[in-house]
Amino acid sequence: MENRFKDFWERPEVDWHEKIPHHYHVSQVGMDHSNKDASEHYGPCLRQSFYRILDPIPEAPSSRGNLFMGNVLHEIMQTEEKKKNPSSIMEFPLYLEFERNGQKISISGSVDIVDFERNSFPQLVNVIDIKTASSYTLPRTESEKNPTYFAQAGIYAYILQNFYFNNALIKVNKVGIRYIDKHNAGVYTIDIPYDNTATKKIFDSFINRCFQLDAFIGTNDLPQAEPMKWCKYCTYRARCTADVILEEGVPSFSMKMLEDMYKKFTGKNAIWRGNYTKAYKDYIKAFKIDE
């Protein structure tokens, strides 16, 4: 059955890759890293976002290839979801504007799948985000779920519930991630019940970070780094490393903590034949080390 509200939901999408001044995509600004375990993934730090906007480094061919493959797998997954539930909406664009003390910003995002549950009133909706992963990094249980991915999907759900939906008629029921194992072509799903009160805290934190980033960009002041395990793969690591070593307030780590983190994340040992491996030495360059 065709969705009667399809035309109502369809809105022009904003291309955040155009680097529109004072405009930020939900995936462009990660979660608050304060008091977080650096072995977990919390999305881009504000410094990385700052570099990407003001002084970007061109993506490597391998990164562009991964992005292309991810988009292809997204489209395949969305096509299959549409077959299962024709009422669902794909790539639903979101856009909001905010002002605080004269500072104006706008945010946008695109929900991969807005899934309308059948035979429900109020109408129950599931917000689904699609992510690709390798066989090694793929989470298969809720305890392994990536907090950043659920924060992004949760922000989408919060915007829909509080800025788009009539709460008397439509309610967000679940937030889900469809993980695609790009190595083995497997699909794994992790769903969690939507909690509007808990998600408001994530949303408010995200908006605060958008205003912070916008202020840093306006004054051209470099944000403080937020070291985490993904620093190893950051395009801007060489620029950032020296500053991280010298900065005050950046957490430091013992070699034992870093060895354990490296083992957990890569599955490899930091030491081979009595010496630290080159890969491990490269990995720890992003972190301040206890003396």
- The 10 Å CB-count burial string (b at 16+, else e) for 51-76 is bebeeeeeeeeeeeeeeeebeebbee
Q: Where are the alpha helices (DSSP H) in 22-113?
A: 46-54, 61-84
Contact 258, 229 (CB under 8 A): no
**For residue 271, is it left (φ>0), alpha (ψ between -120 and 50) or beta?**
beta
What torsion, rounded to 10 degrees, do the Cα atoms 41, 45, 49, 54 define? -150
Contact 107, 203 (CB under 8 A): no
56 phi, psi to nearest 5 deg: -70, 145
Residue ranges for the chain with pLDDT beneath 70: 1-19, 33-42, 59-67, 134-148, 185, 229-230, 232, 241-251, 286, 291
Task: Give CATH for domain 6-219.
Answer: 3.90.320
- Judged by DSSP in three states, 44 sits in coil
pLDDT score at 131:
84
CA distance 145 to 138: 9
Contact 229, 38 (CB under 8 A): yes
pLDDT score at 252:
74
pLDDT score at 128:
93
pLDDT score at 163:
95
Give residue limits of the domains in the chain.
6-219, 229-289
pLDDT score at 1:
47
Neighbours of 213 (CB within 10 A): 22
pLDDT in tens, 203-219: 999 999 999 999 999 99
pLDDT score at 287:
73
Contact 124, 40 (CB under 8 A): no
Contacts of 211 (CB under 8 A, 6+ apart): 98, 100, 103, 105
pLDDT score at 235:
79
CA distance 150 to 165: 20
Report the half-sphere exposure of 14 (CA within 13 A, side-chain side): 17
pLDDT in tens, 47-65: 889 988 888 877 666 566 6
DSSP-derived letter for residue 252 is E
Contacts of 174 (CB under 8 A, 6+ apart): 126, 127, 191, 192, 193, 194
